[in-house]
Amino acid sequence: MVTSLLYGLYAGAVSIAVTLLAYFTGIWKSDANTWLSYVSWVFLILFIYLATRERKREDFGGTMTYGQGVGTGVLVGLFAGLLIGVFMWVYLTTINPEFIDFIVQQRETVMRASKQMTTAQMDQAIDWTRKLFVPIAVVSAILGSVLLATLSALIVSIFVRTKEGETAGEVVQVSE
Mean pLDDT of 11-28: 94
pLDDT: is 48 or 128 the higher one? 48
Q: What is the pLDDT of residues 70-103, one digit of tens each?
A: 999 999 999 999 999 999 999 999 999 999 999 8
Mean pLDDT of 155-168: 80
Residue 71: what pLDDT? 96
Residue 172: what pLDDT? 47
At 169, the pLDDT band (50, 70, 90 cuts) reads: low
Say if residues 63 and 168 touch (Cβ distance below 8 Å): yes
- For every residue of 95-139, DSSP letters joined together read I-THHHHHHHHHHHHHHHHHT-S-HHHHHHHHHHHHHHHHHHHHH
> Could you report how far apart the first and last alpha carbons of the chain are, in Å?
40
